[in-house]
């Protein structure tokens, strides 16, 4: 009887301890979600609040004086829609081209029989540690006639070493027996790549594609540094220039009359900044639901096999 009662007590203790651990995990996860979510809500509230009123403070999760003036100011410039087209085009074309080139290179480096495979891998990895620098890169782009061209957004970012190694690691985890069976059936390397490797590599393709798309979408430096004409600026560069002008105008306020007029303005550089954050962030967030099921599996690739 004692043994049965003791085992029952141990089961109760175990279940209670598990419940406590689960409760602690839930509390930590909820806290992390709030830490991430609350600043986003604050930015959203400030973007819909009058700038002069928001400058007084006290606006946290709901706008105090609701207005659409911040967003009207963002879209008042006709170039913003053209910049959106440039950004969407570079994101779609750049991501597709990068996935194609990176996956082909990863599949090639996956083959152990490739001559000079180790040397090529070392040379590629070396570029992760050392870069050419800004001035040499600019000179190289100039010689390649990439400056002031749409392709300066696409060609330099065709291959990322990090994503290349991720894909190669995933390809190496695919059983060799599948490739050997395909070769016995008369398949060549390209057919194996298209019919076996790519269909089985949806997780890593989704993750690398998402990371690449986000990098393209968030990049403002390429447009500001490599583009002389504002006609080919992406939306990030246009908004960055817009914010710079708003901040410069705010800093140039010198007289009392100018200060009074500026304080009466419903749009400030800070409120404009919050609206710009929402405008540039929401579209790229729409991609996450489509790749969410692959994200957890693909993000752990580098930790499973190096």
pLDDT, one tens digit per residue, over 233-248 is 888 888 887 777 766 7
Rounded to two decimals, the pTM is 0.74
Report d(CA 96, CA 99) in Å as an integer: 5
What pLDDT, on a 0 to 100 scale, did the predictor assign at position 305?
45
Instruction: Please state the rounded mean pLDDT for residues 169-180.
Output: 84
DSSP, res 20: H
pLDDT at 294: 66
pLDDT reading at 99 higher than 80: yes
Exposure string for 1-19, b = 16+ CB within 10 A, e = fewer = eeeeeeeeeeeeeeeeeee
DSSP string for residues in 181-202: HHHHTT--HHHHIIIIIHHHTH
Q: What is the pLDDT of residues 257-298, one digit of tens each?
A: 455 554 555 667 677 778 888 888 888 788 777 766 666 665
Q: How far apart are CA 46 and CA 71, in angstroms?
A: 11
Give bridge partners of residue 66 from the DSSP assignment.
49
Nearest to 152 by CA among 79, 221, 81, 240: 221
Residue 32, classified by CB atoms within 10 Å of its CB into exposed (0-12), middle (13-18) or buried (19+), is: exposed
Topology of domain 74-232+285-304 in CATH is MetI-like fold (1.10.3720)
Whole-number CA gyration radius for the chain? 27
- Please state, for a pLDDT cut of 90, what percent of the chain lies above it: 12
């Amino acid at each position: 009887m004692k043994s049965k009662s003791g085992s029952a007590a141990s089961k109760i203790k175990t279940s209670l301890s598990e419940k406590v651990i689960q409760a602690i995990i839930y509390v930590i996860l909820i806290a992390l979600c709030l830490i991430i979510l609350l600043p986003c809500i604050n930015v959203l509230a400030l973007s819909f609040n009058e700038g002069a009123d928001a400058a007084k403070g006290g606006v946290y999760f709901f706008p105090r004086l609701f207005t659409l003036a911040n967003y009207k100011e963002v879209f008042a410039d006709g170039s913003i829609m053209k910049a959106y087209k440039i950004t969407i085009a570079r994101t779609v074309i750049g991501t597709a081209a990068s996935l194609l080139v990176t996956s082909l290179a990863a599949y090639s480096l996956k083959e152990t029989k490739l001559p000079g495979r180790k040397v090529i891998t070392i040379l590629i990895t070396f570029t992760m540690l050392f870069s050419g620098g800004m001035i040499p890169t600019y000179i190289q782009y100039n010689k390649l006639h990439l400056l002031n061209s749409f392709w300066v957004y696409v060609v330099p970012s065709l291959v990322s070493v990090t994503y290349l190694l991720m894909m190669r690691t995933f390809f190496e985890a695919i059983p060799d027996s599948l490739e050997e069976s395909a070769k016995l059936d008369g398949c060549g390397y390209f057919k194996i790549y298209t019919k076996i490797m790519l269909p089985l590599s949806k997780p890593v393709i989704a993750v690398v594609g998402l990371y690449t798309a986000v990098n393209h979408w968030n990049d403002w430096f390429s447009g500001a540094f490599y583009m002389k004409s504002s006609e080919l600026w992406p939306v990030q560069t246009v908004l960055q220039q817009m914010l710079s002008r708003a901040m410069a105008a705010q800093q140039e306020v010198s007289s009392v009359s100018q200060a009074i007029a500026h304080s009466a303005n419903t749009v400030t550089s800070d409120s404009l900044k919050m609206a710009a954050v929402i405008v540039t962030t929401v579209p790229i967030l729409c991609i996450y639901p489509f790749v969410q099921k692959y994200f957890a599996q693909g993000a752990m690739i580098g930790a499973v096999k190096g």
